[in-house]
Amino acid sequence: MLGVRVLGRSLLSYLVLQLACGALFFGGPSETVRAVGLVAVPVIAGAAVTVGALRHRLVRAPAWLALAAGSVLSAAG
Partner 1 sequence: MSLAPLWIDGVDPSGVGGKAVFVLAYLVSAVGLVTLVGCRRRGDRVAVLDAGMLAVGLGLLVCVLVEPSVSAAGVSGEVRAALLTYLIIDVLLIAVAARVLFAGLRSPRIWLLAFWVVAQAVGDTVFAVQVLHGSFRFEGPLFVLWLAGYAAVGAAALLPGREVRQGSGRWHRAVGPVAVAAAVVPLPVLLLVHAAQGVAHHVLLIATGSVVITVLALVRGLVAGGSSSAAPRAAVRWSAARFTAGFLVLALLPLGGLAYVAVQQSEAAMRTEVRDRMEVTASVSAQYVGEQLNSLRTLVSSYADRPSLVAALQRPGGPDVGAVELHVRSLYAAHPDLSAAWVLDSKGDILAISPAATSVMSSNFAYRDYFRGALDGDGAYISEAYTRAAPPYERVIGVSAAVHDAKGRVVGVVAIGYRLGAFRTFSTRLADVQGCA
Give residues in contact with partner 1 (CB under 8 A). Answer: 3-4, 7-8, 10-11, 14-15, 18, 21-22, 25-26, 31-32, 34-35, 38-39, 41-42, 44-53, 56, 58, 60, 62-77
Q: Which is nearer to partner 1, 29 or 69 (CB)?
A: 69
Calpha distance 25→8 (Å, rounded): 26
Question: Whole-number minimum distance, CB 71 to partner 1, in Å?
Answer: 6
**Amino acid (one-letter) located at 14:** Y
Alpha-carbon dihedral angle through residues 52, 56, 62, 63, given to the nearest 10 degrees = -60
